[in-house]
């Protein structure tokens, strides 16, 4: 549940992503966690946003970077630029394995300077990279008993504000649960489906059986 998180409607709210829409789907991030108050209204409504919005983030110049088309065409999947990968790997080597929402947000912001990117891409990158390093390691361990027990030198990198890395365990300890936060997002349906014309049908929610089990 998976994991998810949130917002709304007002125009111009979510920032993320520039316009677009097209075929793509968007997501929504959000949801912070809450510990305390949640504001009342939830924010849930927000989930989806269709569209467009204002963007934000990358302030100025989108640096142009390496390749990457941005225009976005049909939007498909994220295609990281060299710079983005370099930064991510640096972070990974630095010990980061499962960044929290805040960290993801900041990393995304940084990487946004080099090309289009969303928080989920960062999230997935770490998940995949971690998993694949693990496989790779497992595979190679079979082949040889060499151990490179030495841990790599630690480098200090600074990314904007308050981002810190947790301690690094060479191995990446699974299950180290602490607290967490979330964000949820969702993609939007394909919607290519047939009629969608009716915006608010106002149907009723559930029909029957109120049973509560």
Partner DNA sequence: GCAAATTAATGATTTATTCAAG
Partner DNA sequence: CTTGAATAAATCATTAATTTGC
Residues 40-69 binding its own copies (CB under 8 A) are: 40-57
11-70 residues near DNA, rule: CB under 7 A: 25-35
Task: Using the rule CB under 7 A, give the single segment among 104-112, 146-154, 177-185, 196-204 that binds DNA.
Answer: 177-185
Regarding 169 and contact with DNA (CB under 7 A), the answer is no
Token digits of residue 200 = 């608010």
Nearer to DNA, 32 or 94 (CB): 32
Contact residue for DNA among 14, 47, 114, 182 (CB under 7 A): 182
Nearest residue (CB) to its own copies, 64 versus 170: 170
| 12 sits near its own copies (criterion: CB under 8 A) | no
3-state secondary structure of 24: coil
Using CA atoms, how far residue 95 sits from 41, 131, 164, 165, 173, in Å, is 37, 14, 10, 7, 11
**Cα-based torsion angle of the residue sequence 186, 117, 159, 67 in order, rounded to the nearest 10 degrees:** 170
Residue list 125-164, contact with DNA (CB under 7 A)? 125, 127-132, 134
22 binds its own copies (CB under 8 A): no
- Taking the C-alpha atoms of residue 9 and residue 14, their distance in angstroms, rounded to an integer, is 8
Stretch that binds DNA, among 103-111, 153-161, 171-179, 194-202 (CB under 7 A): 171-179
Looking at the Cβ atoms of 34 and 64, the one nearer to its own copies is 34
Q: What track of x and - describes contact with its own copies for positions 135 through 174 (by CB under 8 A)?
A: --x----------x--xxxxxxxxxxxxxxxx-x-x----
**Residue 17 binds its own copies (CB under 8 A):** no
- Shortest Cβ distance from residue 16 to its own copies (Å)? 9
Among 165, 180, 161, which residue's Cα sits nearest to residue 91? 165
CA 93 to chain centre: 19
Contacts of 43 (CB under 8 A, 6+ apart): 6, 7, 8, 30, 31
Decide: helix, strand or coil at residue 160. coil
Question: Rounded to an integer, what distance in angstroms lies between the CA atom of residue 106 and that of residue 87?
Answer: 12
Q: Which residues bind DNA (CB under 7 A)?
A: 1-5, 25-35, 76-80, 85, 97-98, 120-121, 124-125, 127-132, 134, 172-182, 185-187
């Amino acid at each position: 549940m998976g994991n998810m998180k949130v917002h709304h409607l007002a125009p111009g709210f979510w920032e993320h992503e520039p316009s677009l829409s097209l075929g793509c789907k968007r997501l929504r991030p959000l949801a912070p966690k809450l510990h305390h108050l949640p504001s009342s209204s939830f924010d849930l409504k927000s989930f989806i946003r269709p569209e467009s919005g204002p963007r934000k983030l990358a302030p100025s110049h989108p640096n142009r970077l390496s390749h990457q088309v941005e225009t976005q065409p049909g939007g498909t999947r994220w295609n990281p630029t060299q710079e983005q990968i370099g930064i991510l790997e640096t972070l990974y080597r630095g010990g980061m394995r499962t960044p929290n929402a805040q960290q993801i947000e900041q990393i995304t912001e940084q990487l946004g300077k080099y090309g289009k990117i969303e928080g989920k891409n960062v999230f997935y990158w770490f998940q995949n990279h971690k998993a694949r390093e693990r496989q790779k390691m497992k595979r190679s361990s079979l082949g040889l008993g060499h151990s490179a027990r030495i841990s790599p030198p630690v480098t200090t990198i600074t990314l904007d504000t308050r981002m810190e890395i947790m301690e690094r365990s060479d191995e990446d300890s699974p299950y180290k649960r602490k607290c967490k936060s979330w964000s949820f997002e969702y993609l939007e349906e394909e919607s290519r489906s047939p009629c969608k014309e009716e915006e608010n049908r106002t149907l009723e929610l559930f029909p029957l059986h109120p049973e509560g089990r």
